[in-house]
């Protein structure tokens, strides 16, 4: 393992030994990831409006789905996007997933809707391309409101994360959703998005990174096998990040952070990291180690963070005793039922009297 930048030392050299100092360190780290990786998150709008356009029964009649038009102002005028909000019929204040999805469909290979509903959760699902396209185009949708011009303007991951926060804004107005038990969840590039969203928005009590890998939960300075690196990711997907990230990815500047610091930005809330045993590109063991490396941020709150072993998790093994849940699902890069079940079990253990 290469030497990592120190999570628990302030830029002025002072060690972080209590929650007050962590607040300062957190602000420094959020600033560094904003400036040099994802770009600064645009300011939240003053008001978010949701208009229900359609309402229908789903999940064997156990649930209602509303198609909602979410609207808000930006400095360049109004932006609107569709949200699909599905909740158990008669739900009052249930834990809710804000799910940033690859596809618009509700019954999706990455979203076992019926099981989620029948487990007592609601799902507020956003199709990521309704926010902005997954390419270098900054001329349409939300990207045209926040174009990527300066080195620190947000990339696409930041825009998807921004939309998840607007969903959280809206959910505060819905009795069906328990706004004190919101979880932001995404897979892969959208797992990176979930982590970045939670780093910026502490209203999410749970942040769920599924196979997020490079620039997500996996260390950059500790790679195994054919894992993706900053260099490789930036060459193919420069637009996910701010322009400044190029300096780091190309080796012209040393990163003042590593990914355990991104994970730590969720402390002292709950962090759930799921890997897949065959997902070499995302690097499961590196994700597990980064969970361990992030844990000191929980410890200053008298908590534990990750409680688990230092050697690689066995296939199928999970660690759920601390505030950081980690599991190594059997199989490939995917957001599976098994993953959802792990996440729901962990969340239920924290919200049990409400579910």
Contact residues: ligand GTR, CB under 6 A: 188-189, 213-214, 228, 233
**Separate counts of helices (H) and strands (E) for the chain:** 11, 10
Strand, helix or coil for residue 78: strand
CA nearest to 267, candidates 218, 289, 292, 300 = 300
Q: Which helix (H) or strand (E) holds 170?
A: helix 156-171
Quote the least distance from Cβ 233 to ligand GTR, whole Å: 5
Task: Measure the CA–CA gap between 165 and 160, rounded to whole angstroms.
Answer: 9
Q: Which residue number, 224 or 354, has a Cβ lying nearer to ligand GTR?
A: 224
Q: Which residue number, 188 or 286, has a Cβ lying nearer to ligand GTR?
A: 188
Q: Which residue number, 66 or 228, has a Cβ lying nearer to ligand GTR?
A: 228
Q: Which residue number, 101 or 351, has a Cβ lying nearer to ligand GTR?
A: 101
Quote the least distance from Cβ 188 to ligand GTR, whole Å: 3
Quote the least distance from Cβ 189 to ligand GTR, whole Å: 3
List the structure tokens of 332: 């490939």
Quote the least distance from Cβ 330 to ligand GTR, whole Å: 19
Quote the least distance from Cβ 12 to ligand GTR, whole Å: 34
| Per-state percent for the chain, helix, strand, coil, to nearest 5 | 35, 25, 40
The DSSP code sequence of 296-352 is HHHHTTT--SB-S-SSPPPTT-EE-SSSEEEEEESSSS---HHHHHHHHHHHHHHHG
Q: Which residue number, 106 or 233, has a Cβ lying nearer to ligand GTR?
A: 233
Quote the least distance from Cβ 218 to ligand GTR, whole Å: 9
Task: Measure the CA–CA gap between 263 and 334, rounded to whole angstroms.
Answer: 21
Q: Which residue number, 134 or 318, has a Cβ lying nearer to ligand GTR?
A: 134
Let me know: does 5 contact 259? Beta carbons within 8 Å.
no
């Amino acid at each position: 393992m290469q030497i990592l930048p120190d999570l628990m030392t302030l830029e002025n050299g002072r060690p972080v030994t209590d929650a007050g100092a962590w607040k300062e360190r957190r602000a420094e780290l959020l600033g560094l990831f904003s400036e040099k990786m994802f770009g600064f998150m645009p300011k939240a709008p003053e008001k978010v409006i949701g208009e229900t356009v359609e309402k229908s029964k789903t999940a064997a009649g156990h649930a209602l789905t509303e198609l909602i038009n979410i609207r808000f102002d930006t400095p360049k005028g109004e932006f609107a996007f569709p949200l699909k909000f599905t909740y158990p019929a008669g739900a009052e204040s249930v834990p809710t997933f804000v799910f940033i999805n690859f596809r618009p469909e509700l019954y999706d290979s990455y979203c076992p809707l019926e099981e989620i509903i029948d487990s007592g959760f609601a799902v507020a699902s956003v199709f990521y391309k309704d926010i902005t396209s997954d390419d270098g185009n900054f001329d349409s949708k939300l990207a045209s409101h926040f174009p990527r011009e300066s080195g620190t303007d947000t990339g696409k991951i930041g825009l998807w994360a921004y939309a998840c926060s607007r969903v959280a804004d809206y959910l505060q107005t819905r009795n069906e959703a328990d706004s004190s038990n919101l979880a932001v969840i995404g897979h892969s590039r959208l797992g990176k998005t979930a982590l970045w969203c939670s780093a910026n928005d502490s209203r999410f009590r749970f942040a769920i990174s599924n196979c997020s890998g490079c620039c997500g939960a996996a260390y950059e300075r500790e790679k195994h096998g054919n894992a993706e690196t900053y260099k490789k990711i930036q060459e193919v997907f420069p637009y996910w990040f701010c322009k400044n990230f190029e300096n780091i990815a190309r080796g012209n500047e040393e990163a003042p952070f590593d990914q355990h610091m991104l994970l730590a930005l969720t402390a002292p809330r709950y962090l759930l990291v799921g890997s897949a045993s065959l997902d070499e590109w995302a690097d499961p063991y590196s994700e597990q180690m980064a969970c361990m490396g992030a844990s000191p941020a929980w410890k200053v709150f008298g908590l534990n963070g990750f409680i688990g072993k230092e050697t690689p998790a066995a296939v199928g093994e999970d660690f759920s005793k601390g505030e950081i849940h980690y599991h190594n699902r059997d199989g490939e890069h995917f957001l599976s039922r098994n993953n959802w079940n792990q996440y729901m079990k962990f969340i239920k253990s924290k919200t049990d009297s409400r579910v």
